[in-house]
Structure 1
Amino acid sequence: MSDVASTNTSYLDSLRWQDKKVATSDKKSDALTQSDFFALLTQQLSFQDPSKPADNDQMIAQMTSFTMAEGISNLNSKFEALSASMTSNSALQASALVGKKALLESNTLEMSETGVGKGSIVVEKPVDQLYLNVYDSAGQLVRRIDYGAKTEGAVRFEWDGLNDNKERVPPGQYTLKAEGNMNGQYTSLPTATFKNIDSVNINGSSGIIVNTSLGAVRLTDIAEIAG
């Protein structure tokens, strides 16, 4: 008998309505939508004093304020999408810099067997005589180039890789030292040389970062890029 009763009870339970669990989301948006605004406006109108209806100008001002707030919110979203698109385009354009050369402040120069060393000398004040001295890895002077009198500004130079005896120097790294003669006094001047661009990357706070043999530098700090 107990088995029969148990079977009947299970059968009757299957015929009853079962409580259904409805999935709910824990995430609630605090943003006031257009429908929320009109619902609030409708409530305001339904509870107003008929003898003192709401001022039309006040209602228009409320609607205008909400429309402006909604427009600014949409504009912010569009600006974020535009910013992401510009960042992507910047990364694509920056990738074209790989393999080129960046002019950076440096006193070293890499010379190949047949290459020409190029760069700039920064003349901070007019000089009576400008010299560029080139030293090898042992510190020996291999070439001294005279550029004569120069005014203030950047002076471009090209070294053909020959020493003072018109002989080709071995490939490798050479050190540069620029000197300006002003009233008989020699002053060291800064130089800039071209360095290979190995890679680029995008940094949110610093923008485009260019990686060279001198390390990572911002693209905005590069004076010139050459092929």
Structure 2
Amino acid sequence: MSNDINAASPSTYMDSLRWSEQNKPEEKSDELTQEDFFSLLTQQLSFQDPSKPADNDQMIAQMTNFTMAEGISNLNSKFEQLSASMTSNSALQASTLVGKKALLESDTIEFGSDGLSKGSVIAQSPVEKLTISIYDDTNQLVRQIDLGSKPAGAVRFEWDGKNSDGTTMPEGEYSIKAEGSVNGQFSSLPMATFKNIDSVNINGANGIIINTKAGAVRLTDVAEIA
């Protein structure tokens, strides 16, 4: 008796796992397939009243509705796959931005090891006597750059990191201000400077977010990548 039992039952732990997997009941899906539809259609035809057969238009409509429902289900699945693929592709592309510079509206400018800082003055109207003033963290004037008269638009400028005496300043973040005469009135103008991109991340509906020392902004808000 014991030999019969041992022959029919698993003898080791691994045999038990294999035996359980082989004898595991099949999981049934509640989703109706095309085979189920045609089975129901066959049953419907077999039980119909011969004196009042089903209308051909109704049969065609049923088949069309099922085909459309199946197509929409498959389409949704494809869109999910496409969305996942696009998200992965966006993350891969976003990773290439790390280490580059993003032009962002800011009142500070970075001076780093590359030895050259760049930015733009946003002039909505022609401006005269345009000057760029750069200040250190103690609010002392480091350098003033005279740009003269400029037409409306983005006015590019560069700073070599040196003060008015020609001495190279330490690396870091400096305050910056643009002032000029617009329509006869002396006023400040908005500016944008290049910031190092430290990292990026994907943030759902907000898309790609780039992180700089000035804060986190959406990639769509970046005017230029350099």
Q: TM-score range by the shorter chain?
A: 0.7 to 0.9
Corresponding residue SS for 1:205: helix
What are the Cα deviations for residues 20-52 of structure 1, in whole angstroms up to 9, with x where unaligned?
xx8657x86443321221122122212222122
TM-score (norm: length of structure 2): 0.81
Q: Does 1:119 align with 2:137?
A: no
Structure 1 unaligned segments of length 5 or more: list them: 1-9, 15-21
Q: Does 1:131 align with 2:134?
A: no
Instruction: Label 1:185 to 1:28 Cα distance change in 2 as closer, same or farther (>3 A).
Output: farther
Instruction: Label 1:31 to 1:51 Cα distance change in 2 as closer, same or farther (>3 A).
Output: same
Larger radius of gyration: 1
Matched residue, 1:7 = none
Matched residue, 2:35 = 35
Structure 2 unaligned segments of length 5 or more: list them: 6-22
Q: Does 1:164 align with 2:164?
A: yes
Matches within 5 A, 1:28-177: 29-112=29-112, 115-177=115-177
Q: Distance in 1 between matches of 2:123 and 2:29?
A: 62
Alpha-carbon contact 1:119-1:158 (below 8 Å) kept = yes
What are the Cα deviations for residues 52-90 of structure 1, in whole angstroms up to 9, with x where unaligned?
211212211211111111011111111111111111111
Corresponding residue SS for 1:65: helix
What are the Cα deviations for residues 109-164 of structure 1, in whole angstroms up to 9, with x where unaligned?
22246611101111123323322111122212222222222232211111122333
Amino acid paired to 1:211: N
Q: Distance in 2 between matches of 1:171 and 1:205?
A: 36
Amino acid paired to 2:56: N
Q: Distance in 2 between matches of 1:170 and 1:93?
A: 33
TM-score (norm: length of structure 1): 0.80
Q: % of aligned pairs identical?
A: 70
Alpha-carbon contact 1:129-1:182 (below 8 Å) kept = no
Corresponding residue SS for 2:205: coil
Alpha-carbon contact 1:113-1:170 (below 8 Å) kept = no
Corresponding residue SS for 2:187: strand
Q: Distance in 1 between matches of 2:152 and 2:167?
A: 32
Q: Higher mean Cα deviation, 188-197 or 163-172?
A: 163-172
